[in-house]
């Protein structure tokens, strides 16, 4: 067992991206399961849904996030207050919209939806998601850029990402009018959502 631990530790030190991939492979499905049980109050866990989150988190989110952190570190080096603030603003203006777009479109495609339906979902959910993210990520990223070494930043972001992904998972499962009024074949892809879980004040949801 200790040999395995030493191997994993050595491997992740040599390949920092693997830390993020391992972290997100566990973190994203855990967030989704938390959402299913505590918010949707499902009696049976949808393991296929959780595995989609694991795949997307490990194989897409972690690598792109790692690349973004490396890139912004090269373009805006340093950790003074002015530099950290600059990095945070750039992150919020560039990476956040990219991450939100990737999430709704990518997860929609993994669910088997048509591309145009995923784009329509993005259009209707992007703004409330971005507003919520603007209340969370600037503070988290300022701390991350100022106090955490670059190789550990993905793991620190992962802690915040757990709670954020619970909320994103909730937003993802909300039905919207333009999607639920599509063809019967398309509607079967969308799981019915209990009325008590509708976030009608955030997006236009079908009861």
Residue 141: which pLDDT band, with cuts at 50, 70 and 90?
confident
Q: Is the pLDDT of residue 197 over 90?
A: no
Q: Is the pLDDT of residue 193 over 90?
A: no
Whole-number mean pLDDT of the chain? 81
Q: Specify which residues 176 forms β-bridges with.
A: 205
pTM of the model: 0.76
Residue 12: which pLDDT band, with cuts at 50, 70 and 90?
low
**Per-residue model confidence (pLDDT) at position 146:** 81
Lowest mean pLDDT among 21-35, 123-137, 170-184, 186-200: 186-200
CA angle 186, 166, 105 (to 5 degrees): 40
Rounded CA gap, 172 and 124, in Å? Answer: 11
* Cβ atoms of residues 28 and 166 within 8 Å: no
Surface-to-core class of residue 200, CB atoms within 10 Å of its CB (0-12 exposed, 13-18 middle, 19+ buried): exposed
Average pLDDT over residues 143-164: 80
| Conformational region of residue 49, where left means phi above 0, alpha means psi within -120 to 50, and beta covers everything else | alpha
């Amino acid at each position: 067992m200790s040999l395995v631990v030493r191997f994993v530790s050595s491997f992740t030190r040599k390949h920092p991206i693997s830390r993020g991939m391992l972290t997100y492979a566990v973190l994203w499905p855990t967030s989704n399961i938390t959402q299913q049980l505590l918010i949707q109050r499902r009696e049976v866990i949808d393991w296929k849904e959780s595995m989609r989150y694991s795949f997307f988190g490990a194989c897409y989110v972690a690598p792109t996030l790692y690349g973004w952190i490396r890139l912004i570190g090269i373009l805006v080096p340093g950790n003074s207050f002015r530099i950290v603030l600059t990095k945070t603003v750039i992150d919020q203006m560039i990476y956040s919209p990219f991450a939100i777009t990737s999430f709704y479109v990518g997860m929609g495609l993994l669910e088997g939806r048509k591309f145009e339906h995923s784009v329509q979902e993005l259009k209707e959910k992007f703004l409330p998601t971005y507003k919520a993210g603007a209340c969370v990520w600037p503070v988290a990223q300022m701390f991350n850029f100022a106090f955490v070494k670059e190789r550990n930043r993905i793991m620190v972001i992962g802690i915040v990402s757990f709670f954020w992904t619970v909320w994103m998972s909730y937003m993802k499962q909300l039905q919207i009018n333009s999607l639920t009024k599509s063809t019967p074949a398309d509607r079967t892809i969308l799981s019915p959502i209990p009325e008590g879980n509708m976030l009608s004040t955030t997006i236009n949801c079908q009861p």
